[in-house]
Amino acid sequence: MCGIVGYIGKNKAMPVLLDGLRKLEYRGYDSSGVAIFGKTLQTFKAVGKIKELEKVIGKNKSDGTIGIAHTRWATHGKPSKANAHPHSDCTGKIQVVHNGIIENHAELRELLKKKGHKFHSQTDTEVIPHLIEDLYKGDITQTLQEVLQIIKGAYGLVVFCQDEPEKLLVARCGSPLVIGIGKHETVIASDVSAILQHTKQVIYLEDGEMAEVGYDNFRVFDAKRNLIKKDIESVLWNIEEISKKGFEHFMLKEIFQQPESLKNSFNGRISFENGTAKLGGLTEVADRLRDVERIIIVACGTAWHDGLVGEYMLEEYAGIPVEVEWASEFRYRNPILNKRTAVIAISQSGETADTLAGIKEVKNKGALVLGIVNSVGSTISRETDAGVYNHIGPEISVASTKAFTSQVAILALLTVFLGRQRRMSLVMGKRILKELSDLPEKIDEFLKDNNIERIAKKYHKAKNFAFLGRKYCQPLANEGALKLKEISYIHAEGFASGEMKHGSIALIDKKFPSFFIAPKDSVYEKNLSNIEEIKSRSGDVIAITTKGNKSLEKIADDVIYIPKTLEMLTPILATIPLQLFAYHVARIKGFDVDKPRNLAKSVTVE
C-alpha cells in the first residue's frame, strides 16, 4: 500500500530515491522518509507530501551511493515524523522500510522492552530493526533470516546495516517488491514504475523469498534459507506510459485512453469466423472449464463492480450460475467448493491482499482458480491456475477508470468463450464480438462531444447523491457512487432502481439529486417509473440514456446521451460519463484528483 525505494550503485542515491518516491505517489501516503549512507548515515523524515521531505533535506543532499526511502500510509500510529519510515534500532546503524503489517508486533515490543530496547514510534515496523539488533552477530543476511522466522504477518522489507554497507537486504511475504538489475546499480521498489527510468531488467520476489543485493550482484534465498536461481525478466512497458502526456491529471488521461486500452484488451482475442474468443491464457484449462458448473468471482472495490456485471453476462449467455463475493469477506466464510467450481479473481494490481487471501483459501479446496489482472508478473498472476491479462499499461490514478472497462470487456470475452462451449449460437457469438470491437470508436465519439463538465458545475455543491440503475447497469450505480466518493468526498450511494422505494426514497428532497443510468434497454420502462417517483418528490434527476431517445428530456433535469450497443455491453459505454462527472466535480472543488485522501492504489494490507 505504501511506496518503497532502495538504491545501491555507482551513482548518487538521493536523486534516485526521491524520483522513485515521486513515481509511487499515486499509491497513497501521509508521510515519507529517507536513510542514505555516504561518509555518514543520514536520515530525513517529514509529514505530508514529498515536497515537505525535500524541504527537510534542503541543501544536505548526501553524496552517498546507497539508501532506502519510503512513503507511509498510516496503519499503526498517526502520521508523524516519529512514525514515518525508515525505522532504526537503538544504535541507529540498522535502517528498515516496511510495507504490510506485523501481526505479533505487540508481544515482540514487550519482549524487546524487557531486554532494554527503547522504542520511539507507535508503529508495528519498529520491532524489526530492534529484533535485528538483538540477534545480530556480524552477519546481517543470516540475522534477517532468523528474524523472518519470528515475525508474523505481511511484509515487504528493505534493510540496511551500517556495519555491512556493501549490500541491501530485501524480503517479501504478501507485499510486493521488485528488484531492478541495472549496469553497476540495483534499484529496489514496491512497484516497477519507480525502476523503469534505470532498467527494464527485473526480478520479482515470491512470498517467502529474501534477496541480498549489491550494486552488481545478487543472491536470492527461499523460506528455508536455500540459495535459489531467479530468472531476470523484461518489463514490457516504458517510462512514457507513466507520464501525463499533456493532460491535467492522470485520471483524465486514463479516461481518454479507453478507446486504445479496450482495443489492447481484445486485440488478437477475437475469432469472428468461429464466433468465439481466443484466450491463450486459458488454453491449458479449456477442457476443465467445459465441465465447470458454478463460478465464484472474488474482488474488491471497482473490480467487484466488474464482477457484478460479469455475473449478469455469464448467467444470461453462458448459462452458468455465478456468485460475486467481496474478497475481504470471502476468506472468512466456509465456501462450498469442488472440482466443478471455478473461482475468478479480478485485480488491476494483481497484489490486492484480500483477493490473494481468498485465492489461497480456494486452492486449498481444489477449485480451479483464474485471474483477470493487469500487472504482468504480479502475485495473483502467478498464484492462479490460469488467467487473462488486461494489457492496458499502467493505471496511475487511484480512481480506476480504464481498468474497469477493460475488465468488463474481458468478462465479455470469457462469456463468449464459455458460452460457445455450451449453448451460445455462432450468430450470437459473432454479434457480441462485433459489438465489442465497435466500442472503442463509440467511446471516442462520446469523448469528443459531451456536456459532462457543464452538468458537474451545476451539481458540484451537492452534499449527497444517489446513483440508480437496473440489470446490467445496476452495478454501474455502485461504481458511479464510488467514483464520486473517492475523489470529490461527496456522500453518494448506489441503488438498484427498484429498491429505492423500499426505504431509501425517504432521503430524497430538493437538495438530494439522483443520477440514473437508463439506456433504452429491456428494463427502460421500469427505470422510467422510478425516475417519476424521484421527480414526484422534488428530486433533481440526471439521466444517462441511449442516443436518439428524446423522451427523457421531458422528465429529467439533465440528460447525457451515449451511443447504442448491446445491453450486456452498455456498462462499458455508460461508465465513461460517470467517470467524467466525478472527475470534473473533484477538479471544480479543487481536490487532488489523482491522489485522493486516505486512499491507496494498491491495497496490500487487510
Q: Is residue 158 part of a domain?
A: yes
Q: Is the pLDDT of residue 605 over 60?
A: no
Q: Taking the CB of residue 367, how many other CB atoms lie within 10 A of it?
A: 24
CA 9/CA 220 separation, integer angstroms = 18
Q: Which pLDDT does position 606 carry in this prediction?
A: 54
Q: What is the pLDDT of residue 191?
A: 84
Distance CA 186, CA 47 (A): 28
Evaluate the CA torsion angle 115, 121, 123, 129 in order and state its sign: negative
The mean per-residue pLDDT over the stretch 26-53 comes to: 90
Residue 267 grid coordinates: 486485440
Q: Report whether pLDDT(600) > 70.
A: no
Instruction: Provide the mean pLDDT of the chain.
Output: 91
More confident residue, 604 or 55: 55
In a domain, 594, yes or no: no
Give residue 293's pLDDT. 95
Mean pLDDT of 331-346: 89
- List the one residue out of 412, 449, 419 whose CA is nearest residue 434: 412
pLDDT category of residue 197 using cuts at 50, 70 and 90: confident
Name the DSSP class of 174.
Answer: B
How does pLDDT run across 454-510, given as a tens digit for each residue?
A: 999 999 999 999 999 999 999 999 999 999 999 999 999 999 988 877 888 877 878
Residue 606 lies in a domain: no
Mean pLDDT of 570-599: 94
Report the candidate in 408, 406, 413 with the shortest Cα–Cα distance to residue 390. 406
Residue 456 contacts residue 276 (beta carbons within 8 Å): no
Asked if residue 27 has pLDDT above 70, the reply is no
410 with 363, same domain?
yes
State which of 208, 235, 262 marks the end of a domain.
235
At residue 239, the pLDDT reads 61
Q: Which of 287-296, 402-411, 505-514, 568-577 has the lowest mean pLDDT?
A: 505-514
Range of the domain at 427: 250-448
Share of the chain above pLDDT 70, in %: 97
The answer to whether the CB of 294 falls within 8 A of the CB of 342 is yes
Task: Indicate whether 456 and 420 sit together in one domain.
Answer: no
Q: Within this chain, do residues 306 and 356 fall inside the same structural domain, yes or no? A: yes
**211 within a domain of the structure (yes/no):** yes
Residues 27 and 66 in one domain: yes
For 91-105, 368-382, 479-493, which range has the lowest pLDDT when averaged over its residues? 368-382
pLDDT-wise least confident of 124-133, 241-250, 254-263, 293-302: 241-250
Q: Are residues 456 and 428 in the same domain?
A: no
* pLDDT at residue 240, rounded to an integer: 60
42 near 31, Cβ under 8 Å? no
Query: Is pLDDT of 364 > 80?
Result: no
Of 190, 210, 235, which one is at a domain's C-terminal end?
Answer: 235
Looking at the fold, whether 36 and 51 belong to one and the same domain comes out as: yes
User: How far apart are alpha carbons 17 and 15 in whole angstroms?
Assistant: 6
Is residue 138 domain-shared with residue 287, that is, in the same domain?
no
- Whether the per-residue pLDDT at 249 is higher than 90: the answer is yes
Look up the pTM and report it. Answer: 0.76
**284 CB neighbour count, 10 Å cutoff:** 10
Last residue of a domain, one of 420, 448, 476: 448
8 Å CB contact between 70 and 81: no
Q: Rounded to the nearest 5°, which phi and psi values hold at 343? A: -110, 125
pLDDT of residue 88: 96
172 with 90, same domain: the answer is yes
In a domain, 8, yes or no: yes
Domain of 367: which CATH number?
3.40.50.10490
Q: Please indicate, yes or no, whether residues 323 and 464 belong to a single structural domain of this protein.
A: no
Instruction: With respect to residue 92, please indicate whether it lies within any of the assigned structural domains.
Output: yes
Q: Which of 43-47, 73-77, 373-377, 382-386 has the highest mean pLDDT?
A: 43-47
Q: Active-site residue numbers?
A: 2, 601
Q: Is 1's pLDDT higher than 60?
A: no
Mean pLDDT, to the nearest integer, of 265-291?
93
Looking at the 3D structure of the chain, how many domains does it have? Answer: 3
Of the ranges 77-81, 188-192, 559-563, the best mean pLDDT one: 559-563
- On the question of pLDDT at 26 being above 80, the answer is no
Identify whether 502 is part of a domain: yes
Across the range 168-185, mean pLDDT stands at 92
- Would you state the pLDDT for residue 198? 92
221 shares a domain with 255: no
Write the pLDDT tens digit of every residue in 107-122: 999 999 999 999 999 9
Do 177 and 269 sit in the same domain of this protein? no
Q: What's residue 254's pLDDT?
A: 95
56 and 129 housed in the same domain: yes
For 115-156, what is each residue's pLDDT tens digit? 999 999 999 999 999 999 999 999 999 999 999 999 998 899
201: region left, alpha or beta (phi > 0 left; psi from -120 to 50 alpha): beta
**Confidence band (pLDDT; 50, 70, 90) for 603?**
low
Evaluate if residue 98 carries a pLDDT over 70. Answer: yes
For residue 245, being part of any structural domain is answered with no
The helix (run of H) or strand (run of E) holding residue 464 is strand 464-469
Distance, C-alpha 33 to centroid of its chain: 24
Residue 237: per-residue pLDDT: 67
